[in-house]
Structure 1
Amino acid sequence: MIVVIGGNGKTGRRVAGRLTGRGEQVRVVSRSTSPRFDWDDASTWEAALAGAGAAYVTYHPDLAFPGVPEFNARFSATARAAGLRKAVLLSGRGEEGALASERALQESGLAWTVVRCNWFDQNFSESFFLGPVSSGVLSIPAGEAREPFVDADDIADVATAALLDPRHDGEVYELSGPRLLTFTEVARELSAATDREIRYEPVSHEEYVAELQREGLPADFADLFATILDGRNASVTDGVQRALGRPPRDFSDYAARTAATGVWTSSRLPAAPSLR
């Protein structure tokens, strides 16, 4: 049995689908499943993990938020007591706050693999950038920061391999796409893929905080944006190549593939924000 925590998320549902396709027994858990898994209710953890040998672990909304490492230390202890042998943790690249959560897992006595990522391609189609892209104007406090956007399908491929193959035990994989892009260049890529104009209009940190508050969302997202967009992740990595023996998918391929689904021309509303 492999438990997928957050199995309805961008990476979780992809990991669950890959595992099921390989004939693995999979239990997807979240606040809406039975058994229920709720990060804010530790009493739900043991039942969700019962009988499982491995787990794919994602934390919503983000590992870098205050207090999360303590949750993860407690979770790791509970998981080991429940009989779990291995955990694959989705972590944040360049996030100091996430390192404490990684250490909690690494010191738990479980076999582990850490998968570090920065910005997902799919944030533009399956999360909080869906609405702005659909409207044609992408406004965030990113300036001309350059990011190596990574495809969630690459993340899922690496996580699945790590869950099934002990050769990945003890590895930290930093994943990225094959090239750096500014948000201006992202807008151009999306414009070309959709055959319509999509603009990037940078806003100030204060303007973005106000927008988040209007939407009833945590202002912490604006602070996290400011932190991880300071150039610390402005380099490509070899994580996908090292884990899978192939290069990562390119953003232009993602844009073309996703445009063909019509998601950016539909009336669908964006999902709740999650950097992961």
Structure 2
Amino acid sequence: MTSVSSVYALGLRESLRGPVAEAIAATPSLREAAGLGDADVVLADLCAPDPATLETDFGTARRVLLSIPKAGEADAGTFPAQVAAREAAFASAGGDWCILRCAAFGQELAWGSRFINAGTIYAAWQPGGAPWVDVSDVVALVATLVESGDRWGAAYDVTGPEVVPVARAFGEFTALGKGPVLHVQLDEDMQRVSMTRSDYDARYAAERAGYMVWVTGERNRAVSPVLEKALGRPPRQLGDYLADAAAKLVGSR
């Protein structure tokens, strides 16, 4: 009989909370922990909207940390550099840990469908896009890590199967019955201002803007083989799930 590990998700971005919970529920070897005290594994988001949530005593639970690509190459004072510092702090704290340096999630693009305005999404994603990764594939990787038991103390680059430009990705939103959806790129500062005007916390708005520009930058468009090797199958294509993920969000508004 396959053992079941309890997972407690901590500090997740709003766009990832529902998809992570669904993916854990759909994975036979995982279950959602009722709380930290019940957790075998803590899945912590180093891009947490409130960094204070990461200042937690995880006890003996293993830690899987969702990070971003190449944060260690970022200039001091930027949001990616802050994420790199969080990586280092967790890695030096002892215990079992693993860092997943994930490409931008397709579910984050889906979240943008909530903000379609006159057939247009205004966002700081760079037009060249990213090797968008599916939340369910990342949760499947977490299950594989836990089951293997010998992959701790390391960092892995985690991406989807190909780079998809933003315009092509937003083309998937036509399935929502909204007609063609265009992308108008905002620069980092305009993204921050736009989010602040929409009542987001100013600190989080600045961090989110920095994140969006960083993860869709040219240096972060390399495709990693990690998921295919770990799961024994190719990662899911963005087109296989983006419209469905967006439809769920639109239907929940």
Task: Report the secondary structure of 1:212's partner residue.
Answer: helix
The structural deviation recorded for 1:249 is: 0.5
Task: Report the secondary structure of 1:109's partner residue.
Answer: coil
Structure 2 equivalent of residue 40 of structure 1: none
Asked if 1:155 corresponds to 2:144, the answer is no
Asked if 1:213 corresponds to 2:185, the answer is no
Judge conservation of contact 2:104–2:132 (CA < 8 Å) in 1: yes
Task: Report the secondary structure of 1:208's partner residue.
Answer: helix
Query: 180-189 vs 137-146, which deviates more?
Result: 137-146
Structure 1 equivalent of residue 68 of structure 2: 92
Asked if 1:186 corresponds to 2:190, the answer is no
Question: Size of the alignment, in residue pairs?
Answer: 232
The structural deviation recorded for 1:148 is: 0.8
Task: Report the secondary structure of 1:201's partner residue.
Answer: strand
Structure 2 equivalent of residue 36 of structure 1: none
- Which residue, out of 237, 251, 261, partners 2:238? 251
The structural deviation recorded for 1:15 is: 4.9
- Which residue, out of 186, 200, 205, partners 1:203? 186
Task: Report the secondary structure of 2:17's partner residue.
Answer: coil
Task: Report the secondary structure of 1:104's partner residue.
Answer: helix
- Partner Cα distance (1:59, 1:142) in 2: 19
Judge conservation of contact 2:20–2:139 (CA < 8 Å) in 1: yes
Q: Decide whether aligned partners of structure 1 residues 143 and 57 sit closer, same or farther in structure 2, where only a CA change above 3 A counts.
A: closer
Judge conservation of contact 1:88–1:112 (CA < 8 Å) in 2: yes
Query: 5-14 vs 110-119, which deviates more?
Result: 5-14
Query: 129-138 vs 171-180, which deviates more?
Result: 129-138
Task: Report the secondary structure of 2:48's partner residue.
Answer: coil
Query: 4-13 vs 245-254, which deviates more?
Result: 4-13
Q: Decide whether aligned partners of structure 1 residues 116 and 263 sit closer, same or farther in structure 2, where only a CA change above 3 A counts.
A: same
What RMSD in Å do the two structures reach over aligned CA positions? 3.1
Judge conservation of contact 2:126–2:213 (CA < 8 Å) in 1: no
- Partner Cα distance (1:216, 1:256) in 2: 27
- In the alignment, structure 1 segments of 5+ residues that lack a partner are 30-48, 270-276
- Which residue, out of 123, 131, 141, partners 2:114? 131
- In the alignment, structure 2 segments of 5+ residues that lack a partner are 72-80
Percent identity, aligned pairs only, is 19
Q: Decide whether aligned partners of structure 1 residues 91 and 60 sit closer, same or farther in structure 2, where only a CA change above 3 A counts.
A: closer
Q: Decide whether aligned partners of structure 1 residues 209 and 166 sit closer, same or farther in structure 2, where only a CA change above 3 A counts.
A: same
- Partner Cα distance (2:38, 2:103) in 1: 32
- Partner Cα distance (1:202, 1:26) in 2: 37
Structure 2 equivalent of residue 5 of structure 1: 9
Q: Please say which structure displays the higher CA radius of gyration.
A: 1
Asked if 1:108 corresponds to 2:118, the answer is no
The structural deviation recorded for 1:26 is: 4.2
1:60-80: CA deviations, max 9, x gaps? 635xx9xx5x975x53xx33x
Judge conservation of contact 1:132–1:138 (CA < 8 Å) in 2: yes
The structural deviation recorded for 1:123 is: 1.5
Judge conservation of contact 2:128–2:218 (CA < 8 Å) in 1: yes
Q: Decide whether aligned partners of structure 1 residues 51 and 140 sit closer, same or farther in structure 2, where only a CA change above 3 A counts.
A: closer
- Partner Cα distance (1:109, 1:143) in 2: 37
Q: Decide whether aligned partners of structure 1 residues 165 and 185 sit closer, same or farther in structure 2, where only a CA change above 3 A counts.
A: same
AA aligned opposite 1:122: Q
1:15-30 equivalence runs, <5 A: 15-18=23-26, 21-22=28-29, 26-29=32-35
- Partner Cα distance (1:134, 1:167) in 2: 48
- Partner Cα distance (1:28, 1:90) in 2: 20
Task: Report the secondary structure of 1:148's partner residue.
Answer: coil
TM-score (norm 1): 0.70
- Partner Cα distance (2:187, 2:134) in 1: 27
